[in-house]
Amino acid sequence: MTNDKFSIVGTNIAEKATMIWNVADMLRGPFKPHEYGLVILPMTVVKRFHDCLLPTWQAVQDTYDKVKHLAVIDGFLTKASGYQFYNTSKFTFEKLLADPENIESNFRDYLAGFSPNVQDVLSKFEFDNIIKRMVDSNTLYLTIKEFNSPKGYLGPDKISAVDCGYIFEDLVRRFSESFGEEAGAHFTSRDIIYLMTDLLLSDSDLTHEGNVTVYDMAMGTSQMLSCMEERIHELNADIEVTCFGQEFNPSTFAIAKADMMIRGGDPNNMRFGDTLSDDQFKNYTFQYCISNPPFGIDWKREQKAVENENAQGELGRFAPGLPKISDGQQLFVLNGLSKLAPNGKMAIIQNGSPLFSGDAGSGPSEIRRYILENDWLDAIVQLSTDQFMNTGIATYIWICSKDKPAYRAGKVQLIDASHCYEQRRKSIGTKRNDITDMCRNLIVQAYGEFRHDAVYGDKNGVYCQSKIFDTNEFGYYKIVVERPEKDADGKPVPKKGKPVADASLRDTENVPMTEDIDEYFKREVLPYAPDAWIDTKKTKVGYEIPMTRYFYEYETPEPVEDIMERITKLEAEISASLQALFHKEG
């Protein structure tokens, strides 16, 4: 997909979403601004279903008349509709508008005509209560009229499944912003998603026939899944792609399930529930996992279930350790790893915290240790700030693989792509930067070539850097250094023939795993504390990935002479201004 096409499609999506959202103009008063989405989102889903089914509406009516007396009729009706859903109601939006006096009863009849899988979608919106409020405020007829106008048309002949998914995503974003949701509950734009898909698929062999499975543990409206399916089919149009996803937000889950039904996938693979405490895919494994779970959000609600699963050890998903209660993103990483097939690969977005938070022996460090010592961390790509619509912080794509190629075994690639972006002409929320085709190609090239100390692009403009490290480069030993208690004469106080440690003099040292502990101790500690020793029983192993340090570039300070020249010049200018001021005032 070219960047020009991306821009055009993105503009069309935004325009269509804006036109739909403007329906909210008639809701002012009866509904507060943060409630507009309660009407807009379900109505958009219903209209999408309506417009998809409209060409086969008569065929479904005719079929229903023939089979309605049978015990099982779903198969006949889905065949007639051409989708995995249908509507047996005699009404369409056009027919609803023809009878304004009975708009409520007729609209409820229309909704009741949908197949059971659509009923499940609508139930997540709690739409029944919203309809009552619309009736009471005399806005139901007007809303249906607006959605039935040409600008509200959402048929597949004009709006593709992928584009409709992004319209849903844009509407959800607007709804979320009206609520002022936390920074971690952000949305992923397609430029980032396509980078993730291309990193996942860059070294994959998809020339074979058969089935590929893709899983998103925090799927939102399922756009990562649909983009992954699109990318795989660009590589092999004949391969079958089966998507699976879980989501906890009722509205976005409903949209994801609706989107899956419209795209012809199995809606039963879209499952509702909290991934951390209510895993809907226990004992499933997938070839690919792609996800952008929430970060910076606590897991207090799931704490009991997560701790119980942690206590199960290797029988659960969270055996390696638990992160701090205020940030559950590493739990999603562990969940994703538990879902990867032996040849599986995962791309997951995180903030900077999982790189370094937690001391040796802590939950976050133990999770890093688990990933690195199993040699599952393949690469980390640092993105620029201002890449997301709801948060401007720096973010990272972690690529994890259960089946690294031999040349990547025992290695981790770090890619600094914080300078690899193009600034948007107009920001969307806090998203001010885009990963263009050129940027994405540079990053994917860096990943594919797997070179150390390599620069891709123009270092005076858009570029990224690649560095390769052994996995043990990120490990260290935290040693406890003891010093003896001393008596009034300055002599060590013995106990059972051994010196007694003075707790007030106790210290710790982090020894790189690439060094010998004893050699380090002789070089770095003993010259300054000859009576010190290591309490080996307290030694712990830790892991951290200091991306910033690895890519830090020293900048020569400005010469003192130049600084003094600037200061002298500035002082002269200030003095001249003051003289002119006082002279003017006489």
Q: Which two tokens stand for residue 368?
A: 């890093």
> What is the rounded CA–CA span in Å between residue 332 and residue 328?
7
Query: Which parts of 341-499 fold into alpha helices (H)?
Result: 353-356, 363-373, 437-449
What is the pLDDT confidence band of residue 4, given thresholds at 50, 70 and 90?
very low
Range in 37-51, 408-422, 425-439, 461-475 the model is least confident about: 425-439
Q: What is the 3-state secondary structure (H, E, C) of 437-458?
A: HHHHHHHHHHHHHCCCCEEEEC
Pick left, alpha or beta for residue 81 (phi over 0 → left; psi -120 to 50 → alpha; otherwise beta): alpha
C-alpha atoms less than 13 angstroms from C-alpha of 171 in its C-beta half-sphere: 29
Comparing 355 with 262, the larger pLDDT belongs to 355
pLDDT digits (tens, 9 = 90+) for 88-109: 999 999 999 999 999 999 999 9
3-state helix, strand, coil in the chain (%, to 5): 50, 20, 35
Q: Which two tokens stand for residue 33?
A: 């601004």
Q: Residue 554's pLDDT is what?
A: 72
Query: Which parts of 425-546 fold into alpha helices (H)?
Result: 437-449, 517-524
Average pLDDT estimate for 338-351: 96
Q: Residue 42's pLDDT is what?
A: 93
pLDDT digits (tens, 9 = 90+) for 349-370: 999 999 999 999 999 999 999 9
Mean pLDDT of the chain, nearest integer: 90
pTM: 0.86
SS3 531: coil
- Domains of the chain, by residue range, sit at 3-172, 183-380+391-408, 474-547, 558-586
DSSP letter assigned to residue 352: S
Q: Residue 442's pLDDT is what?
A: 97
pLDDT digits (tens, 9 = 90+) for 475-517: 999 999 999 999 888 888 888 878 899 999 999 999 999 999 9
Range in 37-46, 282-291, 538-547, 560-569 the model is least confident about: 560-569
CATH number of this structure's domain 183-380+391-408, picked from the four choices 3.40.50.150, 3.40.50.300, 3.30.2320.80, 3.40.640.10 = 3.40.50.150
Task: Kindly tell me if the per-residue pLDDT of 8 is higher than 70.
Answer: no
Q: What are the b/e assignments for 224-253, b being 16+ CB within 10 Å?
A: bbbbbbbbbeeebeebebbbbbbbbbebbb
Amino acid making up residue 539: T
Q: Residue 438's pLDDT is what?
A: 95
Q: Are 450 and 443 in contact (CB under 8 A)?
A: no
Q: Which two tokens stand for residue 473?
A: 């480069």
Q: Residue 578's pLDDT is what?
A: 83
Comparing 566 with 398, the larger pLDDT belongs to 398
Q: Residue 572's pLDDT is what?
A: 87
> What is the rounded CA–CA span in Å between residue 551 and residue 466?
9
Q: Are 406 and 371 in contact (CB under 8 A)?
A: no
As a residue count, the chain comes to: 586
Q: Are 218 and 292 in contact (CB under 8 A)?
A: yes
Q: Are 215 and 281 in contact (CB under 8 A)?
A: yes
Q: Which two tokens stand for residue 71?
A: 């015990």
Which pairing describes strands 494-495 and 540-543: parallel, antiparallel, or unpaired? unpaired
DSSP letter assigned to residue 461: S
Q: Residue 180's pLDDT is what?
A: 55
Range in 109-118, 152-161, 170-179, 403-412 the model is least confident about: 170-179
Give how far Cα 87 sits from Cα of 160, 303, 362, Å. Answer: 21, 42, 55
Give how far Cα 416 sits from Cα of 382, 442, 443, 462, Å. Answer: 5, 11, 9, 12
> What is the rounded CA–CA span in Å between residue 125 and residue 131?
11
